[in-house]
């Protein structure tokens, strides 16, 4: 979904004509660890790439996995970064060579320096090279790394931020710096809050950063050469964050975040940052300081998803004027924050990490219709908007700016990480070899019927057939060790046949192709 970056309407991707919904949990073998999926990208071959953090002992380790179009893991790797206290993944993207960029962050042991890390990894999961961009000591953990863009030239644009600095980079395809710029409210040693949250590339003409200046949020507009062209702050009368930036359907700029922890969104002119409209939301819960919001444009609709301080993920569909037309929420609490990305009009991904009771799971959910109920996304009480434009004061401010040139190679080792994968809607995917003698199905792919072969212990057990979104489409009881089941009512796609017993659930995957 990140191979074509700059259309105003949709992210485009090469994928099968029919994208069957699925909902999967990803778990490492250690019961004490868990995964947060940070980014999902569709690949030219129709498979998927996912960047994740492996959370162990409260500290993250950056990771990357390649999964097939139905979410099954082909390979999974974690990054062993020298003298690193923690490493985070934020963006994964395929380049023209068919290799993968991984863009993330590491905090250096001993110095506590923040280091952005860019790696190129082959399609087979082998490390090709890594670069680090060290932006010095910072005591805070308030940092973000967001938005790696591949320009039409093959060069890269990306952004780094910490508590008091925004750093924008342009590199060539090998990670070698073309230019780097840092900006802050004042000289870094004098403090001043100015973290950047997301970068929006403007191909051939630089880009812009949704940021923060003191307690107002700001927009920084850079030229293709990295020079600051203009910048504005937007004072809304309270504690304000601008956390995400995107193109609106009409080509202007959308920024969303919160005002006094109430979610908000505004549209600004692409020319000079002047305000077109500002909306806040009534009825959607409050955000926290660390809550994240994310913007996606889908046709003429604006999709805003954000996390509340109660770990609820809201998904709002807005029209071009910022009015809410649909309100949905995640069916489970989230850990950290979850995110929406659009590969096409019929292939949309909702991912991150779910809290189910006290358990935490890395999760990817694919749906063809984001605003229809599924096992992961459900309808919520409608949220309304309040026009806020009249209380916003926009001003030009004079940030401190300087060149940034700190780039060097770094030796990073990729380690295999064995993952357990299971369906996230009470359906389990089993890869255990010994189960083949207990339950098997043929033909597979199947047309209008399948033959089920099973162990005598499973006679009279109940079975279900479930699509990959977790919806039960058939059910019954098996009465013999060999039984023919009519599946003529099922559409083409992937399904899970599951037999429930006192000793557990036995499953086989069925492909229906007529």
What is the secondary structure of 120-164 as a DSSP string?
EE-TTS-EEEEEEEEEEE------EEEEEEE-TTS-EEEEEE-SS
Q: Which residue's structure tokens are 């991707």?
A: 13
Query: With 0-12 CB in 10 A as exposed, 13-18 as middle and 19+ as buried, what is 274?
Result: exposed
In a domain, 483, yes or no: yes
Is residue 103 a contact partner of residue 115, using CB atoms and an 8 Å limit? Answer: no
Sheet strands (E) in 269-399: 275-282, 293-298, 301-307, 313-318, 324-330, 333-334, 339-344, 347-356, 359-367, 377-379, 384-387, 393-396
173 prior amide bond cis, ω within 30? no
Residue 248 is predicted with a pLDDT of 94
More confident site: 348 or 394: 348
Task: Kindly write down the DSSP assignment for every residue of 275-304, as one continuous string.
Answer: EEEEEEEESS----TT--EEEEEETTEEEE
Residue 14 is predicted with a pLDDT of 26
More confident site: 401 or 484: 484
In a domain, 441, yes or no: yes
Lowest pLDDT segment from 137-141, 186-190, 222-226: 186-190
In a domain, 480, yes or no: yes
pLDDT band at 434 (very low <50, low <70, confident <90, very high): very low
Average pLDDT over residues 115-133: 96
Residue 259 is predicted with a pLDDT of 86
Average pLDDT over residues 425-449: 65
Report the CATH number that the domain containing residue 456 is assigned in CATH: 2.60.40.10
Domain limits at 495?
426-512
Lowest pLDDT segment from 195-199, 232-236, 329-333: 195-199
Average pLDDT over residues 27-36: 89
- Beta-carbon contacts of residue 124 (< 8 Å; ≥ 6 apart): 75
pLDDT tens, 203-228? 888 999 887 766 677 888 999 998 98
Residue 498 is predicted with a pLDDT of 84
Residue 150 is predicted with a pLDDT of 94
Residue 139 is predicted with a pLDDT of 65
pLDDT band at 10 (very low <50, low <70, confident <90, very high): very low
In a domain, 181, yes or no: no
Q: Is the pLDDT of residue 16 over 50?
A: no
Q: CA 4 → CA 94, 299, 343, 385, 400, distances in Å?
A: 10, 15, 10, 32, 34
More confident site: 243 or 164: 243
In a domain, 265, yes or no: no
Q: How many whole angstroms separate alpha carbon 379 and alpha carbon 202?
A: 35
Average pLDDT over residues 178-187: 79
In a domain, 401, yes or no: no
pTM of the model: 0.80
In a domain, 466, yes or no: yes
In a domain, 24, yes or no: no
Q: Residue 119 phi/psi, 5° resolution?
A: -130, 145
Domains held by the chain: number: 1
Residue 430 is predicted with a pLDDT of 44
- Which of the given ranges, 170-179, 241-250, 278-287, has the highest pLDDT on average? 170-179
């Amino acid at each position: 979904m990140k191979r074509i970056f700059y259309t105003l309407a949709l992210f485009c991707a090469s994928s099968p004509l029919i994208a069957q919904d699925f909902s999967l949990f990803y778990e490492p073998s250690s019961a004490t660890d868990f995964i947060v999926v940070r980014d999902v990208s569709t690949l030219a071959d129709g498979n998927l790439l996912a960047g994740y953090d492996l959370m162990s002992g409260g500290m993250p380790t950056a990771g990357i996995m390649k999964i097939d179009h139905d979410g099954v893991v082909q390979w999974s790797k974690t990054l062993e970064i020298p003298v690193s206290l923690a490493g985070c993944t934020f963006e994964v993207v395929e380049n023209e060579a068919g290799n993968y960029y991984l863009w993330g962050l590491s905090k250096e042991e001993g110095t506590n320096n923040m280091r952005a890390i860019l790696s190129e990894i082959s399609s087979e999961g082998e490390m090709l090279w890594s670069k680090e961009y060290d932006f010095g000591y910072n005591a805070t953990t308030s940092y973000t790394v967001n938005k790696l863009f591949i320009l039409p030239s093959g060069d890269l644009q990306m952004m780094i931020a910490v508590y008091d600095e925004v750093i924008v980079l342009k590199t060539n395809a090998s990670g070698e710096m073309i230019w780097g710029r840092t900006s802050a409210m004042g000289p870094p040693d004098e403090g001043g809050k100015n973290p950047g949250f997301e970068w929006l590339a403007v191909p051939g003409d630089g880009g812009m950063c949704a940021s923060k200046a003191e307690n107002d949020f700001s927009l920084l507009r850079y030229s293709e050469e990295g020079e600051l062209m203009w910048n504005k702050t937007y004072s809304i009368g309270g504690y304000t964050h601008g956390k995400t930036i995107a193109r609106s359907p009409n080509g202007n700029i959308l920024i969303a975040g919160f005002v006094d922890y109430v979610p908000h969104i505004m549209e600004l002119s692409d020319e000079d940052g002047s305000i077109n409209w500002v909306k806040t939301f009534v009825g959607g819960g409050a955000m926290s300081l660390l809550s994240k919001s994310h913007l996606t444009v889908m046709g003429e609709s604006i999709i805003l998803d954000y996390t509340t301080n109660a770990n609820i993920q809201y998904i709002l569909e807005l029209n071009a004027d910022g009015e809410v037309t649909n309100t949905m929420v995640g069916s489970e609490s989230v850990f950290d924050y979850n995110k929406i990305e659009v590969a096409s009009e019929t292939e949309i991904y909702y991912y991150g990490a779910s809290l189910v009771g006290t358990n935490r799971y890395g999760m990817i959910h694919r749906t063809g219709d984001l605003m229809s109920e599924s096992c992961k996304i459900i309808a919520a009480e409608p949220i309304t908007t309040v026009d806020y434009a009249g209380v916003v004061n926009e001003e030009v401010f004079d940030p401190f700016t300087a060149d940034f040139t700190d780039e060097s190679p770094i030796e990073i080792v990729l380690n295999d990480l064995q993952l357990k994968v299971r369906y996230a809607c009470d359906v389990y995917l089993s890869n255990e070899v010994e189960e083949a003698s207990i339950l098997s199905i043929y033909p597979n792919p199947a047309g209008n019927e399948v033959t089920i072969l099973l162990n005598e212990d499973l006679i009279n057990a109940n079975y279900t057939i479930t699509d990959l979104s977790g919806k039960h489409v058939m059910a019954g009881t098996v009465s013999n060790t060999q039984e023919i089941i009519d599946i003529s009512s099922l559409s083409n796609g992937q399904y899970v046949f599951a037999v429930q017993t006192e000793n557990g659930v036995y499953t086989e995957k069925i492909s229906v192709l007529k």
